[in-house]
Amino acid sequence: MTNTIEQGQVIEGKVTGIQSYGAFVEIAENKQGLVHISEITHGFVKDINQHLNVGDEVKVKVLDAEESKGKYSLSIRATEDKPKQQTKAPQQKKQASYAANTQEEAPGFNVLKDKLEGWIEQSKEREETYRR
């Protein structure tokens, strides 16, 4: 562990404490920083204890370093590759198979257009009823 901690640096550390808002990581002798809950991993983290334990060795990236105040903002997430997002193709296939199975055109604006004329006519009839 080095004595000078700089922004952007990637270093090994040890988890020394866990709170609901983040984990404290020792990054040098008598120096520790905070990994905010949003920087634990990619995706949503409800409970940090499901991802980290006190004593775990972790690789962290220094997001912000205030040497004079002894404050270090750290990220474990920044040292990991972002998981690939699933494309929306499976949903499109599902919609296409639904339309094929029902042997109908997919419902859309044409249905509304056809019904709109009927609704306007009903509205006019009701309006006449109230005027009488």
Both 60 and 108 in one domain: the answer is no
Q: Does 56 share its domain with 104?
A: no
Q: Is 25 left (phi over 0), alpha (psi -120 to 50) or beta?
A: beta
User: Which of 56, 79, 102 marks a domain boundary?
Assistant: 79
Give phi and psi for 122, each to the nearest 5. -60, -40
Integer distance in angstroms from the first to the last C-alpha of the chain? 90
Task: Say what the pLDDT of residue 122 is.
Answer: 86
CB of 27 within 8 A of CB of 72?
yes
Q: What is the pLDDT of residues 49-90, one digit of tens each?
A: 999 999 999 999 999 988 888 889 999 999 988 888 765 555
Q: Are residues 117 and 73 in the same domain?
A: no
In a domain, 86, yes or no: no
Residue 21 CA, distance from chain mean position: 16
On whether both 14 and 73 belong to a single domain, the answer is: yes
Residue 85 in domain: no
Q: Is residue 3 part of a domain?
A: no
Per the structure, the complete domain to which residue 99 belongs is given by: 91-131
The answer to whether residue 4 sits within a structural domain is: no
**Whether the model pTM is above 0.75:** no
φ, ψ (nearest 5 deg) of residue 44:
-85, 135
